[in-house]
């Protein structure tokens, strides 16, 4: 038996876990652009019930937090003490966070008190965008400002005109609004990256360049950091932390992973005095969990990436409030937010429907007339971009999803792109 904050005893045995598969609809602008990307609609929400009657919630976006929701893993914690299981990183994000939530509610304390000492009352959040046309970037920036955000993370890709994107975007937002550009190593090498990034240094609002080139290129990344003005962010782990810190290849980190790993990384970052942003992706449920980690991790000073802004519904009764770029770390028990059970039921789907998606046809066009067709920008074109098989960040390039028309031409292209990207030969 555990003792709650009010002095009462509490049975923390996991009695039941419900799997709730949901398909959460996107807002219109992110939705039409995500058509050409991954399937980020589908989640498996876990509701953990303790013997004392308290509930806890965690979730996994199945196209992001992959491999942590096998039925045997979920069932393995039933009949066991939730407080003893919640630090087991082998269970995966969804189960662990649901356990933390349930234990916090049972003991009458917010999750951050279970994690460690609170060092921040408020924690910064960023608005997130997938790669999209310039006008859509502007629309999303305006939404971000309306909702109290002061920072936005965008994707830099060779199949969109990054110069036009940043020109339009920086002309429409205040000088105090910051922009982080994630290239996912598509700038290829230091020489080409430095040339391009020095152009972008002209924009006052552009603050962080994330993973401009492959992260294991230590000398190349160090050169980029030395010869450009933006701060360089790299995913923690590659190169190894000692090399990244001692050889000064980046200004800070992108941090993701299960709770135990987050706390370990936080300790290293604090020792090295390196800021990072938490990248914990999902609906408002995951974003609310992220607030607690932001509250106890000293170097969580860059705006967190949670992506919950892309959905029509946060799955929380009261969405997270952001003011001047910051959200308050919850002080109520557990998650500190009530999960919207009505929304979960409204968006519930059969589990066999998860990760099912219709065939897509995406067209990329360059100003010299060259055209490429594919079924997924993320899976198909990223591989080509990283291999240097696409034109390199040329001006005037456009990308669009072609709606299925039933024409013979469209049917032929759909068949062809099922085998991989094809350049138009007509």
pLDDT of residue 328: 98
pLDDT of residue 406: 66
CA nearest neighbour of 278 among 52, 20, 97, 413: 97
User: 2-110: what fold?
Assistant: Enolase-like; domain 1 (3.30.390)
DSSP secondary structure letters along 358-386: ----EEEE-TTS-EEEES-IIIIIHHHHH
Q: What are the structure tokens assigned to 234, written together?
A: 């790299």
pLDDT of residue 209: 98
The sign one gets for the Cα dihedral 97, 99, 101, 107 is negative
Mark out the alpha helices in 201-258 (DSSP H runs).
218-227, 241-246
pLDDT of residue 156: 97
Q: Do domains 2-110 and 122-351 have the same CATH topology?
A: no
DSSP secondary structure letters along 312-357: S--SBSSPPP-BTTEEEPP-SSBTSS-B-HHHHHHHB--GGGTT--
Going by CATH, does the domain composed of 122-351 fall within 3.20.20.120?
yes
How is residue 110 annotated by DSSP?
Answer: B
Residues lower than pLDDT 70 in the chain: 1-9, 65-73, 352-353, 355-358, 404-406, 425-426
pLDDT of residue 1: 62
What's this model's pTM, rounded to 2 decimal places?
0.94
Domain definitions of the chain by residue range: 2-110, 122-351, 362-423
């Amino acid at each position: 038996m555990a003792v709650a904050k009010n002095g009462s005893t509490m049975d923390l045995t996991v009695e039941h876990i419900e799997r709730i598969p949901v398909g959460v609809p996107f807002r219109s602008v992110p939705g039409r652009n995500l058509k050409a990307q991954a399937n980020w609609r589908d989640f498996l929400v876990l509701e953990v019930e303790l013997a004392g009657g308290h509930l806890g919630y965690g979730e996994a976006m199945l196209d992001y937090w992959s491999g942590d929701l096998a039925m045997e893993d979920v069932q393995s914690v039933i009949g066991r003490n939730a407080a003893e299981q919640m630090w087991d990183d082998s269970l995966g994000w969804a189960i662990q966070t649901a356990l933390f939530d349930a234990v916090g509610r049972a003991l009458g304390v917010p999750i951050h008190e279970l994690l460690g000492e609170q060092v921040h009352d408020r924690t910064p959040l960023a608005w997130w965008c997938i790669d999209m046309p310039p006008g859509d970037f502007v629309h999303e920036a305006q939404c971000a400002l309306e909702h109290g955000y002061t920072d936005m993370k965008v994707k830099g890709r060779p199949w969109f005109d990054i110069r036009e994107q940043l020109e339009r975007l920086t002309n429409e937002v205040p000088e105090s609004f910051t922009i982080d550009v994630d290239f996912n190593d598509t700038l290829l090498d230091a020489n080409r990256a430095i040339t391009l990034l020095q152009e972008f240094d002209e924009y006052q609002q552009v603050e962080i360049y994330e993973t401009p080139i492959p992260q294991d290129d230590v000398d190349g990344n160090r050169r980029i950091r030395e010869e450009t003005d933006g701060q360089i962010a790299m995913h923690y782990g590659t190169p190894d932390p000692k090399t990244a810190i001692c050889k000064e290849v980046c200004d800070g980190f992108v941090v993701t992973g299960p709770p135990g790993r987050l706390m370990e990384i936080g300790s290293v970052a604090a020792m090295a005095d390196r800021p990072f942003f938490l990248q914990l992706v999902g609906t408002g449920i995951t974003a609310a969990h992220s607030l607690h980690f932001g509250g106890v991790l000293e170097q969580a000073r860059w705006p967190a990436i949670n992506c919950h802004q892309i959905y029509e519904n946060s799955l929380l009764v009261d969405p997270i409030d952001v003011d001047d770029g910051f959200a308050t770390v919850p002080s109520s028990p557990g998650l500190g937010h009530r999960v919207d059970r009505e929304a979960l039921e409204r968006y519930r789907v059969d589990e066999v429907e998860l990760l099912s998606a219709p065939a897509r046809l995406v067209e990329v066009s360059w100003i010299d007339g060259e055209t490429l067709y594919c079924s997924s920008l993320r899976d198909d074109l990223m591989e080509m971009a990283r291999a240097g098989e696409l034109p390199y960040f040329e001006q005037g390039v456009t990308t669009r999803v072609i709606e299925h028309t039933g024409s013979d031409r469209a049917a032929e292209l759909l068949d062809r792109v099922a085998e991989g990207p094809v350049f138009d030969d007509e």
